[in-house]
Amino acid sequence: MKRRDFLMASGAAVAGLSGASLTARDLWAAEPASHDLRIQPATYAFRDTPTQGLISLSPDAPPPVLRGKRGEAMRLAVHNTTPDYTAMHWHGLRIPNGMDGVPYLTQMPIGEGETFVYEFTPPDAGTYWYHPHCMTMSQMAHGLTGVMVIDEDDDPGFDSESVINLRDFRLQDDGRFLPYYTARGAARGGTHGNVLTANWQQGPIYDHGSGTLVRLRVVNTDTTRIYRLHLGDALVRIIAWDGHPVDQDLPLPTKDVPMLVGPGQRVDFAVQMPEHEGQVVELTAELPGRRTQVMATLRSLGATSARSLAALRPLAKNPLAIPDLDTAELHEFVFGWTPEGGVPNDGYCGSLGYSFWSINRTPWAGDAAEGTGPLATLERGKSYVLRLRNESPNLHPIHLHGLAFVPLRSNLRTLPQLWTDTALLLKDEIIEIALVADNPGDWAFHCHVIEHQKTGLAGYLRVT
Ligand code: C2O
Ligand code: CU
Ligand code: CU
Which DSSP string do the residues of 62-101 spell out, in sequence order?
A: PPPPEEEETTS-EEEEEEE-SSS-B-EEEET----GGGS-
Distance 136 CA to ligand 1 centre (A): 9
Q: Evaluate if residue 16 carries a pLDDT over 80.
A: no
Any ligand 1 atom below 6 A from CB of 133: yes
Q: How far apart are CA 430 and CA 413, in angstroms?
A: 10
Q: pLDDT for 251-268, tens place per residue?
A: 999 999 999 999 999 999
Residue 25 has pLDDT above 60, yes or no: no
Instruction: Give residue 1's pLDDT.
Output: 29
Question: 263 C-alpha to center of ligand 3: Å?
Answer: 10
Q: Ligand 1 pocket, 401 CB below 6 A? A: yes
Chain mean position to CA 120: 19
Find the 42 Cα to ligand 2 centroid distance in Å.
24
- Residue 276's pLDDT is 98
Beta bridge partners of 287: 291
Give the residue from 366, 433, 361 showing the smallest Cα distance to 392.
Answer: 361
Longest Cα–Cα distance of the chain, Å, equals 64
Q: What is the pLDDT of residue 24?
A: 47
Say how many Å lie between the CA of residue 246 and the centre of ligand 3.
26
Lowest mean pLDDT among 153-157, 243-247, 259-263, 278-282: 153-157
* pLDDT tens per residue, range 219-263: 999 999 999 999 999 999 999 999 999 999 999 999 999 999 999
Residue 396 CB partners (closer than 8 Å, separation 6+): 335, 390, 424, 425, 447, 449, 452, 457
Q: Give the pLDDT band of residue 19 (cuts 50, 70, 90).
A: very low
* Amino acid 27: pLDDT: 46
Q: Which bound ligand lies closest to the C-alpha atom of 136?
A: 1
Strands 422-425 and 396-400: antiparallel
Nearest of 346, 205, 393, 169 to residue 282 by alpha carbon: 205
Gap between the Cα atoms of 49 and 56, Å rounded: 18
Check if the beta carbon of residue 161 is closer than 8 Å to that of residue 24: yes
**Does the pLDDT of residue 6 top 60, yes or no?**
no
Nearest CA to ligand 1 atom 2: 444
* Whether residue 454 has its Cβ less than 6 Å from ligand 1: no
Which pLDDT belongs to residue 5?
30
Share of the chain above pLDDT 70, in %: 93
Neighbours of 49 (CB within 10 A): 13
- For 277, residues 6+ apart whose C-beta sits below 8 A from its C-beta are 210, 300, 301, 302, 303
CB atoms within 10 A of CB 334: 16
pLDDT of the residue at 9: 31
Q: Which of 242, 239, 288 is nearest to 263 (CA)?
A: 242
**pLDDT value at 160 more than 90:** yes
**103-123: average pLDDT:** 97
To which H or E segment does residue 116 belong? strand 115-120
- Span from the CA of 401 to the centroid of ligand 3 (angstroms): 16
Q: What is the reported pLDDT for 33?
A: 81
Q: Can you tell me the mean pLDDT for 399-415?
A: 98
Q: Mean pLDDT, to the nearest integer, of 107-116? A: 98
Residue 162 C-alpha from the chain's centroid: 16
pLDDT one-digit tens code per residue, 443-453: 999 999 999 99
Q: Is the CB of 446 under 6 A from ligand 1?
A: yes
Provide the pLDDT confidence category of residue 344 given band limits of 50, 70 and 90: confident
C-beta 264 within 6 A of ligand 1: yes
* pLDDT at 111 (0 to 100): 98
Residue 385 banded pLDDT, cuts 50, 70, 90 = very high
d(CA 460, CA 350): 18
Q: Read off the DSSP letter of residue 327.
A: T
The residue with greater pLDDT, 400 or 14, is 400
What integer pLDDT is reported at residue 83 of this predicted model? Answer: 97
Band (pLDDT 50/70/90 cuts) for residue 58 is very high
Predicted confidence at residue 146, as pLDDT, reads 98
Ligand 1 atom nearest residue 91's Cα: 1
Residue 293 CA to ligand 2 center (angstroms) comes to: 28
Average pLDDT over the chain, rounded to an integer? 92
Q: Is 91 in the pocket of ligand 1 (CB under 6 A)?
A: yes
Q: Which atom of ligand 1 is nearest to the CA of 102?
A: 2
- Interval 121-139 mean pLDDT: 97
Nearest residue to 215 via CA among 270, 267, 264, 159 = 270
Rounded to a whole number, what is the distance in angstroms from the first to the last CA of the chain?
Answer: 47
pLDDT at 52: 97
Say which ligand is closest to the CA of 359: 3
Nearest one of 363, 364, 365, 367 to 347, comparing CA atoms: 367
Q: What is the dihedral of CA 334, 340, 345, 350, to 10 degrees?
A: 70
Mean pLDDT, range 125-145, rounded to an integer: 97
pLDDT level of residue 343 (50, 70, 90 thresholds) = confident
Let me know how long the chain is: 464
- pLDDT class of 132 with cuts at 50, 70, 90: very high
Q: What is the pLDDT of residue 22?
A: 42
User: How confident is the model at residue 347, as a pLDDT?
Assistant: 79
Q: How far is the CA of 89 from the centre of ligand 3 (A)?
A: 19
Atom 3 (ligand 1) nearest CA: 91
Ligand nearest to the CA of 263: 1
Q: Is 350 left (phi over 0), alpha (psi -120 to 50) or beta?
A: left
- In short, whether 266's Cβ falls inside 6 Å of ligand 1 is no
Provide the pLDDT for residue 12.
31
Closest-CA residue to 250 (of 258, 261, 239): 239
**Residue 26 pLDDT > 60, yes or no?**
no
* Beta carbon of 399 within 6 Å of any ligand 1 atom: yes
Confidence bin at 367 (pLDDT 50/70/90): confident
Q: What is the mean pLDDT of residues 339-367?
A: 85
Residue 148 has pLDDT above 90, yes or no: yes
> Which residues make beta-bridge pairs with 166?
198, 220
- Residue of the nearest CA to atom 1 in ligand 1? 91
Q: Is the CB of 89 under 6 A from ligand 1?
A: yes
- The span from the CA of 58 to the CA of 38, in Å, is 7
Do the Cβ atoms of 459 and 445 come closer than 8 Å?
Answer: yes
Give the mean model confidence (pLDDT) for residues 42-53: 96
Rounded to whole angstroms, how far apart are CA atoms 339 and 35? 45
